[in-house]
A and B are shown apart, each in its own frame.
Chain A
């Protein structure tokens, strides 16, 4: 127990340290020009914090309710839905950069409803149906996205950066308002889910055990599906699809803090946030060009996870 407290302390310390460090450290060492710190770096850090945290949190829930350790937040097809929404907006030719998160969000919400209708047929469902529906919708939307991008004659990089994940966001007033509203709602959802951590623990014991412990399997599954999808949609709309974090961070959290969801959920959030903030720090400083953040998270994440796996086996 004592070592656990030290781990928690280190996690918080690391988070605070890296937030402050990222705020003042840039491409060429330290600088604290007011515009750069407040208008360029601060939004990036806030976005990284929320994106990383939400992704890891959502990953933990999905792995729990779908009883599949390989689930990541994009398995529900939401990232493809977001890309689809943006490409649809690009068909209008003159879509401003600031409106793309709105279209991404609408696309994600559309995906959620489609997957829901496919997976929760006549009020009954199983885990496999959700995964299959998500994967199929994802493929469908990817193909439509490609079609739209060819038609819209816009530079492909705009959609590629959404697919690969990109925190280089600048807010104007309208996007900022939407960002705040959607994220407030997703924070409320996080709290609701956290209140149901007991149910998640029951889920991890298997469907029958969960039902014998008084959990209404279908009802809970539907609730978790909706809340989690909304959280992922919010994240993907602004930060794009950051790979690996949602898959691996929940596993690392379980290694470090145990399998109780009362701990897995909050620490996944914090650890995910920390990892994405550090990854973004690398992405914007180590090379003369800005690197895609998914590349950093995967490049450093995969070996680290293998190390943890080997140590624990």
Chain B
């Protein structure tokens, strides 16, 4: 019994030894892997004091203090870092946004639906770090790169799969759909209004895509080709199933998307010649 009471006092003593950090510079927490990439692209990583366990690019982002995952990060860890602003993404992190606001923590919602919105947001993020010029320069070079790779010669119909069971693809309002339009590729589900709609296998077969692009690690080309009824689909008949792309290049609204566009255009151009 005496030991327990002693331990209690010892712990109370420890409280008084700890001291909170004190400084007035910019401190940001990023709950979105895409924004983490933007911050690194702007060379502002020294202001980044916390991110999520999914922030894995560039390599150095892994070393930054982790506040949790994207769905349920620890509010306590975020508050402890005393951030001047927290970057997050809707609709996934709406709850977190509301929680942080009651704690008087400023937030920035980054959920671009198109390339142009992404460019605008890069500039806004640049303004937060007082690096507007650097951000404008980055956007300009990205736009230039995008212009150079623009347009495929032939209009191809593509099915993008981001989950196997149930099959989830990209709709009209998704970020990736805008990229595909920019490089002249037709998304077979561009008529769906939701961002990431769940589709039926029969819809895929009926739409008969020229290409199937798999953006998740769960299934390989072989498995797709062996799905019942898929033998009629053009992409399967001509073996045009792509399964070796890194999804992060396409599903994150960060500067890497331009790199992704290049990869995609090169791949499709080479195949078509």
The 8 A CB mask of B62-86 against A (1 = contact, 0 = none) is: 0000101101111111011000000
Q: Give me the 6 closest cross-chain CB pairs, A-B, nearest first.
A: A170-B99, A97-B98, A97-B95, A157-B71, A289-B69, A289-B68
Residues of B close to A171: CB separation below 8 A: 102
Nearest to B69 among chain A residues (CB) is A289
Contact flag A35-B102 (CB < 8 Å), given A17-B4, A158-B95: no
Residues of A close to B69: CB separation below 8 A: 289-290
Q: Which B residues lie at the A interface, using CB under 8 A?
A: 4, 8, 11-12, 14-15, 18, 20, 53, 66, 68-69, 71-77, 79-80, 91-92, 94-95, 98-99, 102-103, 194
Contact flag A21-B102 (CB < 8 Å), given A33-B79, A97-B95: no
Nearest to A173 among chain B residues (CB) is B102
Pick the contact of A26 from B12, B72, B80, B94 — CB < 8 Å? B80
- A97 pairs with B99, CB closer than 8 A: yes
- A284 pairs with B8, CB closer than 8 A: no
Pick the contact of B94 from A36, A97, A172, A284 — CB < 8 Å? A97
A214 sits at the interface (CB 8 A): no
Residues of A close to B68: CB separation below 8 A: 288-290
CA distance A73 to B99 in the complex (A): 29
A-B contact count (CB 8 A): 86
- B98 pairs with A161, CB closer than 8 A: no
- A27 pairs with B94, CB closer than 8 A: no
A-B contact pairs, 20 of them (CB 8 A): A24-B15, A28-B80, A31-B20, A35-B103, A36-B79, A40-B76, A40-B79, A96-B98, A97-B98, A153-B194, A154-B91, A155-B91, A155-B92, A166-B72, A170-B99, A284-B76, A288-B53, A289-B53, A289-B73, A290-B73
- Beyond A28-B80, A290-B74, 6 extra complex contacts between A and B, CB < 8 Å: A33-B79, A33-B80, A39-B79, A97-B99, A168-B72, A170-B102
A32 sits at the interface (CB 8 A): yes
Query: How large, as a class, is the contact surface on chain A?
Result: 35 or more
A191 sits at the interface (CB 8 A): no
A184 sits at the interface (CB 8 A): no
A30 sits at the interface (CB 8 A): yes
A98 sits at the interface (CB 8 A): yes
Residues of A close to B8: CB separation below 8 A: 17, 20
- A289 pairs with B72, CB closer than 8 A: yes
A251 sits at the interface (CB 8 A): no
Contact flag A31-B103 (CB < 8 Å), given A97-B94, A155-B91, A168-B72: no
Pick the contact of A161 from B18, B72, B75 — CB < 8 Å? B72
Within the complex, the shortest CB–CB distance from A240 to chain B, in Å, comes to 12
Residues of A close to B15: CB separation below 8 A: 24, 30, 32
- A27 pairs with B74, CB closer than 8 A: yes
Residues of B close to A284: CB separation below 8 A: 74, 76
Residues of B close to A168: CB separation below 8 A: 72, 74-75
The 8 A CB mask of A208-242 against B (1 = contact, 0 = none) is: 00000000000000000000000000000000000
